[in-house]
Amino acid sequence: MLIKALCNYYDLKTGQSRTELPDGYSVQPVHFQVLLRENGEIAAINDFRETKEIPQKNGKVKERLVPREIALPERSQKSAIFSALIEHRPLYLFGLNYSGGVLTPEDDKNKARKSHEAFVKRNSEFLADLDSPVCSAFRNFVDNWVPEEQTENEHLKKLGKEYSGSYFTFALYDDLTKTPQDDPQFIAKFQKTAAEQSAKAEDAYLSVCPIMGERLPTARIHDKIKFPGGNTTGCVLVGMKESAYESFGKKQSYNSNISETAMKKYTAAFNELLADSKHRIFINSMVIVFFALKKDDGAESDFFSAFFGGDDDAAFAAAMNSLKRGENVDYSKLNIDENVDFYVAGFTPNSSRICQKFIAHNSFGRIMENVSRHQRDMALSGNDRHISFGGIAKELISPKSTKEEIPPPLMTGIIRAAVEGVNYPEAMLQTAVMRVKTDRNEEKNHYIKFNYTRVGIIKACLNRKARRSNKKEEITMALNKENTNPAYLCGRLFAVLEKLQQDAAGGTLNTTIVDSYFSSACSKPSTVFPKLMELSNHHIKKVGGSYFKSLIGEIIDPLDGEFPTTLSLDDQGRFIVGYYQQNRELWTSKKNKDNDEKEN
């Protein structure tokens, strides 16, 4: 489904935002332009980069120099030393390393020399019979450049540290429009050579492409994807390298039957989406890519991205708030087609491969309904607070842990639940409950054990499970005094007993019953609450609290004097939510009471 969708996306975008590339060409980033004299000597090296506005996490925009993208003969996907025609990598072009301010052809594996030799051999042979001015100048550069003699080249030395990480293109010094890759002679020979190679490929292996539906030459090796966090040389989405994965005598990616045509389309589209910050977001080590199947999907992608990362656009913000409240949104005012096919897919790097973790496909409107439903499920005291996936992940990890992220399968399940509207993974509830039971509040941070996000996670898991089982949702955003679930009541009671203890001690306690008994009370209430109830009688005598007597009686009355022996995982979640909501109610009531006394 993903490869077919990427191919369709490529077809829609071709001819609008992307110019049609000659066969065998691909878009490459270029930082500097080398200007050549007729004899092949370097006359100058111009900065070829352009200024772009880059959005920042704080909502601001910064201007940065970024490489310009141009069409060049496609680079080989081989990991070994292999030069492209009109190469753009400095090690191949110049045969020099830059280290400590010095240009040198020396390195441990002799890679600089080998790379340059490969470049000279391939390009010199190809350019031999081309006599246009720019091809002649470029051939002279290829034949006459000697790395050992250019270690003090003034043009390269001016680049300094930027030399190693930059890419280069060429043009004539007296006419910058004349470039080797755009020269008619070069293109004609290149296409003739490509056609001959294609004919050989047809003789080698033809099959029915599952994407194109035609009998076409099958791609033996798929182009690399420039995947964030993956191998620096690129990763592949489709590839069978080891013989163990081969079948019916088919070698490498012949096993997939994906044609060369489809391969070029989906890899080009995938690379373009990954390079565009409006079409991807990062969640831990996972990259989420999204797009709509229309010629200009900017509005849909912007809105989806803004829902996860925030946006200063007033119209977007108003629409997002409406969604969070469960209200209908007039997408037409935002130039959004709510019925367009929309794709969301998650990926993680795995050595030189890309691992697809999930893919969701639905109409844009339905996916946004699911995402907004996720936010409402998480909400406790209203719809104004946005809980990010990063925030969820943070609360599922111990604050003292050195592990920076939760397991990818769990993160995958959480995102799928939000985008597709399915149940949250059971491990999400299990981990959240465990964290509440085992973590301890610290002196300077009283919101480690219980906080809005952790309790929101538990509420979301319980309510969604009930809703998808056609049962009534029982966990409301605020305290629900009509909820008679025994586990929820026990959680409320524990909060009241803790507040009573604090009031009796005059606010001088360093630890409360939460520190000593919470985990036990949450798992086996019958073993803890009789003792706590007995202690509460002494505390009530100290505070003279008829209010507490009445509140305790209101809570335990539906229990008929029986505390549950054990609580299931779901019930432990209900206990925690009941405690949290009652605790907030008690402290909110106290603040209101104090304010009333001050006003009087």
Query: pLDDT by residue (tens digit) across 416-433?
Result: 999 999 999 999 999 999
Return the domain boundaries, the chain: 1-18+205-271, 31-200, 280-465, 481-599
Average pLDDT over residues 152-174: 94
Look at residue 594 and tell me whether its pLDDT is greater than 50. Answer: no
Look at residue 446 and tell me whether its pLDDT is greater than 90. Answer: no
Q: What residues form DSSP beta bridges with 389?
A: none
Tell me the residue type at 184. P
Taking the CA atoms of 92, 94, 95 and 96 in sequence, report the sign of the dihedral they define.
negative
For residue 208, give the DSSP letter: E
Query: pLDDT by residue (tens digit) across 192-229?
Result: 887 776 666 545 577 888 888 888 878 777 888 888 87
The residue written with tokens 């939760």 in the block is: 406
Average pLDDT over residues 65-94: 84
User: What is the reported pLDDT for 135?
Assistant: 95
Average pLDDT over residues 103-128: 93
φ, ψ for residue 172 (rounded to 5)? -75, 140
Taking the CA atoms of 452, 457, 460 and 463 in sequence, report the sign of the dihedral they define.
negative
Look at residue 93 and tell me whether its pLDDT is greater than 80. Answer: yes
Look at residue 569 and tell me whether its pLDDT is greater than 80. Answer: yes
Whole-prediction pTM value? 0.72
* Residues in the chain, total: 600
Look at residue 554 and tell me whether its pLDDT is greater than 50. Answer: yes
Query: pLDDT by residue (tens digit) across 348-370?
Result: 887 778 899 999 999 999 999 99
How far, in Å, are 186, 458, 590, 594 from residue 584 at the CA level?
A: 74, 16, 10, 15
Look at residue 252 and tell me whether its pLDDT is greater than 80. Answer: no
User: What is the reported pLDDT for 412?
Assistant: 93
Residues 216, 259: contact at Cβ < 8 Å? yes
> What is the C-alpha separation between 298 and 361, in angstroms, rounded?
18
Residues 418, 390: contact at Cβ < 8 Å? no
Task: Give 316 or 161, the one with higher predicted confidence.
Answer: 161
Spell out the residues 6+ positions from residue 309 whose beta carbon is closer than 8 angstroms to its own: 57, 281
